[in-house]
Amino acid sequence: MKADKRYNFITFLEVEISSFTGGGYKVRYDFERKLISWNDGYMWNNNFMKSLTPEKLEIITKNLSSTGMIEWMEAYNKGDLAKVGVPTANPSSWRICVKFEDGSNLVSSHTKNFPKDWTKLKDIIESTTEMCFRLR
């Protein structure tokens, strides 16, 4: 299956960012159940679960493939950091888990190196959760 087609078959997406102190955020998109859940590692009372509205789903389906997320996840897993990543002095980390219709998973993570196109994914997350997805 070509990478650009795989975006159409995502059933679950989890994106997490965390600092070396343990604080951070995790957002989960369950496309089968049409739910968004948010976990705030800084303020436990800021956690929520809400409906994935048709408008928010459209934001994701229109824009997710333009992030190149699947492609850079695979590049990180192969060790091609120089091709898709940018080293950071801050010891923060990210982790992404994608589940597809066929039951397969793609998981990738890294510390002190973020994808060049991270902002595109961050913008999608912020517009669909209405929360800031940036470490404090």
Res. 21 pLDDT band, cuts 50 70 90: confident
**pTM listed for this prediction:** 0.93
Choose between 46 and 109: higher pLDDT: 109
Alpha helices per DSSP H over the chain: 3-6, 54-67, 69-78, 81-84, 118-129
Choose between 7 and 46: higher pLDDT: 7
* Tens digit of each residue's pLDDT (9 = 90 or more) over 68-106: 999 999 999 999 999 999 999 888 999 999 999 999 999
Residue 127 has pLDDT above 80, yes or no: yes
Mean pLDDT to the nearest integer, 43-61: 93
% pLDDT > 90, the chain: 83
Residue 121 located in a structural domain: yes
Residue 136 located in a structural domain: no
Count of the separate structural domains present in the chain: 1
Residue 134 located in a structural domain: no
Residue 97 located in a structural domain: yes
- The SS3 of residue 58 is helix
Tokens of 135: 């470490």
4: left (phi over 0), alpha (psi -120 to 50) or beta: alpha
Residue 135 located in a structural domain: no
Going by C-alpha positions, the residue among 21, 75, 20, 52 that lies closest to residue 125 is: 52
Residue 14: CA count within 13 A, CB half-sphere: 12
Residue 2 has pLDDT above 80, yes or no: no
Domain boundaries, position 55: 3-129
Which range is least confidently modeled, 17-26, 49-58, 74-83?
17-26
Residue 100 located in a structural domain: yes
Residue 114 located in a structural domain: yes
